[in-house]
Amino acid sequence: MIVPRKNLTFWERLYLPAIASGFKVTARHFRNTVFKGNTVANDLSGGFYPEKKWVVAEGYRGAPYLVKDPEGNTKCVSCQLCEFVCPPKAIKITPPGPAGTADRPNAEKMPKEFEINMLRCIFCGYCQEVCPEEAIFLQKDYSLNAESRQELIYNKEKLLELGGVHQDKIWKWKHKAEEAKEQTTFPVAK
């Protein structure tokens, strides 16, 4: 697509009006900040950061954490799609191997280890978008601190603890298990 360029008028080409209006805008903000105390921080949270923490809006993309279903089971099934889609390669999943090790019925698989390197994470939300199990969500934490790089590599336990419980409406695996159980009596006789 070619966007036709507007032919500039003489005044526009001279650049001076642009300078003047640029100065006007910057001066207005300067004045309002210095003399009226209008700052973004005041507008949003009525104060400055450490004392008045910014309350993030709904849908804010903070740190990604793993969630549990309402029965307290891990939702992640180690499909590794988030690991694949993660642009900065912040996620590292260790698959369970042949044993599977799931802590709930019917889902045969869950990760042996799930690590997110929060130093690498760019909070893009791809992992949440790609997750077929609704097991990972970008939550509202935006201030992650640690005293070493190692500390900011969150493991499965920590991610699950921080992620909390997701009020799942679908109950995919549970429903499937119930459905299968209903069918066991018919028609394959034991």
Partner 1 sequence: MFQTIFNTISSWSPLTQFTFWSAIKVFGVFGVAMTIVAYAVLAERKISAFIQDRVGPNRVSLPLIGSIPFLGPLLTRWGIWQPLADGVKSFIKEDFTPSYVRKAYYWLAPAITFVPALVVIAVIPFGSYIGNQKMVIADLDVGILYSFGIISLGVYGIVLAGYASNSKYPFLGGIRSSAQLISYEIAMGMSVVPIFLVTQQLNLSAIVEYQAQYGWFALPFCARELTPLSFMIWPFALISFFIFLVSGFAETNRLPFDLPESETELVAGYNTEYSSIKFALFFMGEYANIIAGAGMMVTLFLGGWSVPGLSDAAIAKTHIAVGVAHILIFLFKVFFLIAIVIWVRWMFPRFRYDQLMDLGWRRFIPVALANILIVAVIVWAVTTFSNETKPALAHSAYQVNK
Partner 2 sequence: MSTQATTEQKPAPPPIEKIKIKVDGRDIEVPKAMPDWQGKLQPTTMLQACQIAGIDVPHYCYHPKLPIAGNCRMCLVEFGTPAMGPDRKPVLNPDGTSKILRSVLPYEPSTPRGAIACATPISPGMEIYPNSPATKVMREAVLESLLINHPLDCPICDQAGECKLQEYSVDYGKAGSRFIEPKVHKPKAVDLGPRIVLDDERCILCTRCIRFTKDVVGDDKLGVVNRGSYNSIAAYPGTTFDNNYTLNTVDICPVGALTSKDFRFKMRVWFLKETKSLCTSCGTGCNTIVGSREEVMYRYEPRENDAVNSTWMCDSGRLNYKWVNREDRLSKVQGSKLKVQSQEKAWSVAIRDISEILRKAAAGSVAFVASARQTNEELYLLKKLATKSNAITDSVPRIGEGDRLLLNADRNPNSTGSRLIGISGEKMGSNLSKIAEGIRSGSIKTLIVFGEDVTKHGIGADLLAKLENLIVSDILPNATTAAAHYLLPGCAHVEKRGSFVNVKGRVQRFMQALQPKGNARAEWEFLHELVFNVTGQNGYVTIEGLFNQMSKEVPAFNGVSWAGLGDAGVTIQI
- Partners of 154 in beta bridges: 116
The entry of partner 2, partner 1, none near residue 71 (CB within 5 to 8 angstroms by kind) is none
Our finding on whether 105 is near partner 2 (CB under 8 A) is no
Region 32-71 residues binding partner 1, contact defined as CB under 8 A: 32-34, 38-41, 48
Contact 106, 180 (CB under 8 A): yes
Q: CA torsion sign, 152 to 154 to 134 to 78? A: positive
Our finding on whether 18 is near partner 2 (CB under 8 A) is no
The residue from 12, 14, 29, 122 that contacts partner 1 (CB under 8 A) is 29
Q: What is the dihedral of CA 49, 53, 57, 61, to 10 degrees?
A: 70
Our finding on whether 19 is near partner 1 (CB under 8 A) is yes
The residue from 109, 120, 140, 166 that contacts partner 2 (CB under 8 A) is 109
Our finding on whether 74 is near partner 2 (CB under 8 A) is no
Distance of CA 10 to the CA centre of its chain: 49
Task: Please choose, out of 27-35, 89-97, 128-136, 162-170, the segment that lies near partner 1 by the rule CB under 8 A.
Answer: 27-35
The residue from 63, 66, 81, 90 that contacts partner 2 (CB under 8 A) is 81
**CA–CA distance from 125 to each of 72, 117, 178, 182 (Å)?**
24, 14, 32, 38
Vertex 93, ends 80 and 177: CA angle to 5°? 60
Our finding on whether 97 is near partner 2 (CB under 8 A) is yes
| Closest C-alpha to 101, from 71, 82, 74, 130 | 74
Least separation in angstroms between CB 73 and partner 2: 14
Least separation in angstroms between CB 42 and partner 2: 46
